[in-house]
Structure formats: structure tokens, C-alpha cells
Structure 1
């Protein structure tokens, strides 16, 4: 039976990818300290979370073994004598009934169950959440996304993912208040490892000797890249609602954008998203209200709640809905050229017999990949 199990439920875009990357990168060393990451991988914990939150779209894509991920995690925790950590930001979607059921399973195999939520100020969360939706196939504008959020409709899934007091009301009804933890993301400009140190303090981790080289990053796209991606997504209507299609679009586009875009080398393209004054002001007011609720709640806070209060003044940046067409075109050209170059540099793939198919005049003299690579390099200025 485990001593303590920590269930990190999100929120999305609050440093979760960064933390999970470090935890899994150091999983063996953490286990030696007595902290188990059950399941053996982030993918298994994601599958377990889909079972907990009863996400029909994801469950339909899973194998029979994957559908048993949650049961295996609970068994693994029960067989461990130290602490355990389950971290999956989509758990914020879980209904109160399903959260109670999941916690009851863990309470049967651990002396203590703790719920952990990481939180970031809303002025930073809205653009990040919108960008994540675009990465998953949506073509909606930031303005349209904000307008839906500003209706303050609890059914809009942004608030289901980001309204921390409501999330904890769903998750904390069967947990002692001192075992419910809000870990605050520091303000921009703070020590980049401060969030990591705050979670280490909470989990009882000694990070001396642990590797802090994050092997995975959930990269932020520049405004021109996002505008280009929205244009591509428009050819796949409602892809963000189709789990399989969303994964294909995101899997192909995301890793290629950062590598190809001139936004990475051209300082004239602002990398930061700026909110319009009305959007910024509304989120400042709503963000302060959320902080006031958290300050009045009995839950344990790690860090300074004032870090969740948005800066009252908008910062510099670019409206991603108003990116000049020339900058979007530059991203598109670089994207296509980089993809062509990558394909040109792949080794030729002969037929099974190693010869050109008889009678195939188009294949008799295939264009040389080396020659194509030279042309693409000349067009893009790459050497």
C-alpha cells in the first residue's frame, strides 16, 4: 500500500508539459527516492485519464489493453510502499461523480491521497489555450475564442479547464483541504526553474543530481505561424473535434512549423501574442476574481497567489488575427521548402527488385534527389 499518492490534474498550459517531461526523464532516480510514476510512460497515464474522465472520443481509439490502463495504475500504486504521482492535465475535465470514484479507488490503496493543480494567470492562459486548440486542428480566431469565453458560460470547455476554484470543487469534495494543493506559476522573468522547485518541495523531492535538461517542450508558435496553421486547418473542418484526425494534423504540422518558419530567425516577426485592450481588461477582472476565491478557500497554496493576478496593463506584442499576409506567406514558403528539402535528402527507395519497373517511362529517369536538394537550397538560401 502506498504512503501518499499525488494526482496532478492540470490545468492545461500551466507548465504541465515541462513538469511531466522532467518527471519522466528522471523517473528511475525518482523511484530510488521513493516516488513512483505508475504506468511506465506518459502515454499510459493519458490512457488511464481517458478512462477516468470517460472521454468517448479518446476511448474509441484505444485498444482493449489500453482500456485497462487505469486499473493497472491503481494496482501498481497499491503494490508500492512509497509515494506515487499521477499527472495528466486532461483530468480537469472529469465530472464530480467520476472524480469521486477515481479518488475512492486510490484511497483504497494509499494512506493519503493528494490533489494537485498548477495554475497560471488568465491573461497568459487564454492565448495559450487558443493556440493549443489551433494546434489540434481548429481554425477559429483568437477574438472568436475570447468572445465565447467572455460569455462566462460554464459549459464552454475553456472554463471547464481553467476555472481553478470550480475544478477543485469537483475534485476536492472527498479530500482533506490540507491535501489539496494549488501550485502557482511564477510571473514572466522569474527563475525558469522556480515552478520545478515548487513542485519538488510539495512532493518531497531532492533534485540534487537530477537532470533539468527538458527533453520535451510544448513549443509556442509565433503569430505568423499560427495564422498559417489556421489557414491549413480550414481545409479540415472540425478536425479538433475528431480525435484521430486532430492527431494526424497536429503530428504532421507542429514539428515542421518551428523548424521551418522564418519567425525563428527574423526579429521583425513578433513572437509574442498581444490581447486587444477590451480582451485584456475583461481577463484582468475575471482573473482577480478567481484569485480572490482561491485566497478565501482552505486549500494549500505553494507560491504566491498574487502571481496569478494579471498585469493590469497590456504588454507589447502582435494581434495574431491581424498578421500581414506577407508574413504568413513567408512562413508558408519556408514550410514547403523545408519539407521538400527533407524529402529530397531522403535516400532513393528502389522497387523490391532494385530496378525501375518495365514500361514505366516516368520512372525510367527519376529526378535526382541530390539535384532537387541543390535546387531547394538555392531557392531558400540554405547551404
Structure 2
């Protein structure tokens, strides 16, 4: 039986990809310190989380071995004699009943079960959550997304993922308050690794000698790239609601974007003001709760005044077209077949250089009437 089982349940867009990439990149070293990542991979933990929350759409894509992922994870925890960490942000979607059942299973595998939730201020969360939805196939604008957020409907997917007090209510049945940990994402401008240090302190990890260069990043797109992505998504009806189609859209688009320097997304004054007020209410509720806070809850209070940035719903058409040109040029290069050695003329080194991306971009500009 494990000594402690930590269940990191999210929230999405609160540094989860950064933390998970470091944990999995250092899984062997962490295990030698006594912290096991059961399942052996992030994919297995994702499958286990899908079973926990009984996600029918995802379960329909899984085979028998994958459907047994949760059982395997629990068995590994039970066979371990130190600490274990399960981290999957989709666990925030679990119902009270599903969360209770998962915690009960883990109580049979570990002497202590701890629930860990990372959180970020709402002014930063809303644009990030909207962008993530676009990446998964939605054509919605930030304004339309915010309009739904501002209805404060607990059934809306955003609040199901981001209303931290309600999430913890679903996930803390029978868990002692001192075993419920809210880790605050640092404010902008803080040391890049402060979130990592906060989680290390919680988990009892000594990061001396660990490789802290995260090999995976959840890429932030530039406003013009988001606008281009939305335009493409409009051709796929409700792609973000279809698991298989959403994966195809994201898998195709995401590797081909991210080359344009990102810019801070600006919220309109009414959006910013509403989120500041709602964010303060959430933090006040957390401050009154008995849960253990790692870091400073004031890090979750949004800045009173909006900063400078770009309105992603009003990107100039020329900027979007420039992204489309680069996208097409990169795709043409990726699809270009290697030269036939028999057809290559004996010049220089005997190889033929493929057309440059710049040259292809010029072709695209001519085709679109911009060159």
C-alpha cells in the first residue's frame, strides 16, 4: 500500500501541461525519490481519467486494454510503498458520485489520499480556455465565449472546469481539509519555475539534479493564428463536440501553427470588469474554506485594470491572410516528395535543394493577388 496518493485534478490551463511534462520527463528520477507516476505514461493516466469520469465519447474510442487503465493505475498504487501521483486535468469533469467512487478506490490503495488543484486568475483563464476550444475545432469568437461565461451557468463547460470551490466540493467527500491542496499559479512576472517549486514543496520532491527544461509546451497562438484557426474550423460543424473530429482538427492544425510571435490578448473593459468581480468572489470563498493553500491566494485575484493587448476578434484580414500563406507554404514543404536520385543532375554535391519556404510564400502571394 502506498503511503500517500496525490490526485492532481486540474484545473485546465493552470500550468498543468508544464507540470506534467516535467513530471513525466523525470519519472525515473522521481520514482527513485519515492514518487511513482502510475500507469507509465500520460496517455494511460488520460485513459484512467476517462474511465473515472465515465466519458462515453472517449470510452467509445478505447479498446479493452485501455478501458482497464484505471484498474491498472490503482493496482500500481496499491503495490507501491511510498508516494504516488496521478495528474489529469480532465478529472475536474467528474461528477460527485464518480469522484467519490474514485477516492474510495484509492483509499484502498494508499494510507492517505490527497486532492491537488492548481488554479489561475479568471482574467487569464478565460482567453486561454477560449483559445483551447478553438484549437479543438470551435469557430466561436472571444466575445461569444465570454457571453456564455458571464451567464455564470454552472452547467456551462467553462465553469464546470474553472469554478474552483464547486470542483473541490465534488472532489473532497471524506477527504480531511488538510489533505486538500489549492496551488495558486503565480502572477505574471513571477519566476518561471515558481509554480514548479510550489508543487515540489507539496509533494516532497527534491529537484536537485532533475531536468527542468520542459520538453512539451501547450503553445499559445498569436491572435492572427487564432483567427485563421477559427476560419478553418467554420468548415467543420461542431467539431469541438465530436471527439474523433476534434482530435483530427487539433492534430493537423496545431503542429503547423505557433510560428508567429504571440501577443497578449486584450479583454474589452466590460469583460475585464465582470471577471475581476467574479474572480474576487471566488478567491474570497477559497479564503474562507479550510483547505490548504500552497502559495498566495492573492495571486488568483485579477489586476483591477486591463493591460495592453490585441482584440482577437478584430484582427486585420491582411494579418490573417499572412498566416494562411505561411501555413500553406509550410504544408507544401512538408508534403514535397524527396527528389528522385536517378533524375538529379550531377551538379555540385549531386543533390537538389527543395524550394525554400520564402519562395513558396511568394507563389502563394501571387496566387492570392498580394504579390
TM range (shorter): over 0.9
Return the offset for 1:14: 0.1
- Structure 2 counterpart SS, 1:116: strand
The aligned residue for residue 232 of structure 1 is 232
Spell out, residue by residue over 1:62-112, the C-alpha distance to the aligned partner (whole angstroms, 9 max, x if none): 111100000000000000000000000000000000000000000011000
* CA–CA distance in structure 1, aligned partners of residues 360 and 134 of structure 2: 30
Structure 1 position 315 matched with structure 2 position 296: no
The aligned residue for residue 358 of structure 1 is none
Identify which of 351, 361, 365 aligns with 1:380.
361
* CA–CA distance in structure 2, aligned partners of residues 349 and 48 of structure 1: 47
- Structure 1 counterpart SS, 2:68: helix
Structure 1 position 2 matched with structure 2 position 2: yes
The TM-score normalised by the length of structure 2 is 0.93
Return the offset for 1:332: 0.3
Structure 1 position 327 matched with structure 2 position 308: no
Return the offset for 1:377: 3.8
Spell out, residue by residue over 1:237-261, the C-alpha distance to the aligned partner (whole angstroms, 9 max, x if none): 10001101100110010010114xx
**Is contact 2:339–2:352 with CA below 8 Å preserved after alignment?**
no
The TM-score normalised by the length of structure 1 is 0.90
- Structure 1 counterpart SS, 2:62: coil
* CA–CA distance in structure 2, aligned partners of residues 91 and 63 of structure 1: 20
Q: Structure 2 matches for 1:1-383, cutoff 5 A?
A: 1-259=1-259, 263-264=260-261, 271-344=263-336, 346-347=337-338, 373-374=354-355, 376-380=357-361
- Equivalent residues, number: 356
Gaps of 5+ in 2: 344-350, 364-371
* CA–CA distance in structure 1, aligned partners of residues 174 and 236 of structure 2: 42
Spell out, residue by residue over 1:343-364, the C-alpha distance to the aligned partner (whole angstroms, 9 max, x if none): 22x42589xxx99xxxxxxxxx
The aligned residue for residue 366 of structure 2 is none
The aligned residue for residue 362 of structure 1 is none
The aligned residue for residue 368 of structure 2 is none
Spell out, residue by residue over 1:140-175, the C-alpha distance to the aligned partner (whole angstroms, 9 max, x if none): 000000000100111001000000000000001210
Pair 333,80 (structure 1): closer, same or farther in 2 beyond 3 Å: same
* CA–CA distance in structure 1, aligned partners of residues 131 and 358 of structure 2: 31
Q: Which runs of 4+ in 1 moved over 3 A?
A: 379-382
**Is contact 1:135–1:254 with CA below 8 Å preserved after alignment?**
yes
Instruction: Give the root-mean-square deviation of aligned CA atoms.
Output: 1.8
Gaps of 5+ in 1: 265-269, 356-368
* CA–CA distance in structure 1, aligned partners of residues 58 and 197 of structure 2: 33
Spell out, residue by residue over 1:169-206, the C-alpha distance to the aligned partner (whole angstroms, 9 max, x if none): 00012100000000000000000000000000000000
Return the offset for 1:379: 4.1
* CA–CA distance in structure 2, aligned partners of residues 271 and 332 of structure 1: 18
**Is contact 1:96–1:171 with CA below 8 Å preserved after alignment?**
yes
- Structure 2 counterpart SS, 1:258: coil
**Is contact 1:341–1:377 with CA below 8 Å preserved after alignment?**
no
